[in-house]
Amino acid sequence: MNEGAQTGKRFALLDRDGTVVIDKVYLADPAGLEFAPGVVEGLRLMRDAGLRFLMITNQSGVARGYFDEETLARIHRRLCEMLAQEGIDLEAIYYCPHGPTDGCRCRKPQPGLVLDAMANFGFSPEEAVLIGDSEADMGAATATGLTGIRVASPNAGAIAAHDAAPDFLAAARRAVAYFDSRQAKNRSCT
């Protein structure tokens, strides 16, 4: 049996824009935050199944000059407040402030943010899923060995993945099923 099954570690790494909140394209005002469909219900479902939440988000609006890191911190504080009002604890937010051509290690699909979260919280790839709406999100999951669960996004248009969950609640159900199946498998091996 692996250590994760013994310790019960279960993490959902969450993309922000287009996944947890409606993508407003370079959101620069905390008042503009709005949960995407199914988010509150999905987060509660995963919380009740023992999952912990971390956010992994590209925020190139900083590099592009649309907002600064202080504004981004205000947006993230407001998001944490909104989640807390719904009984959800977001334990950490990892973000990349760089632009697409900056060549950093943290901008998804690069694995840097996910690897940092894994090191800081001490979990292995099989103890987490990454839920996001983009190829970059799924690329970061693949690069780190995590299971990626894609959510359909209105901004994805015609290139949306055929196997994407229709909304966040459906993605959350997939995450819970993933952990339930791992737990059943681990029980059958003992």
In Å, what is the CA distance from 76 to each residue of 87, 99, 104, 138, 139? 16, 19, 22, 23, 24
98 among annotated binding-site residues: yes
Instruction: Give the residue numbers annotated as catalytic, written as ranges.
Output: 15, 17
Looking at the chain, the number of H-run helices and the number of E-run strands are 6, 5
Residue type, 38: G
> Torsions phi, psi of 101, nearest 5?
-105, 10
96 among annotated binding-site residues: yes
Q: Do 16 and 133 contact (CB within 8 A), yes or no? A: no
106 among annotated binding-site residues: yes
The DSSP output letter for 53 is: E
17 among annotated binding-site residues: yes
133 among annotated binding-site residues: yes
29 among annotated binding-site residues: no
Q: Give the chain's radius of gyration (CA, Å).
A: 16
116 among annotated binding-site residues: no
Binding positions: 15, 17, 96, 98, 104, 106, 133
Binding positions for Mg(2+): 15, 17, 133
Binding positions for Zn(2+): 96, 98, 104, 106
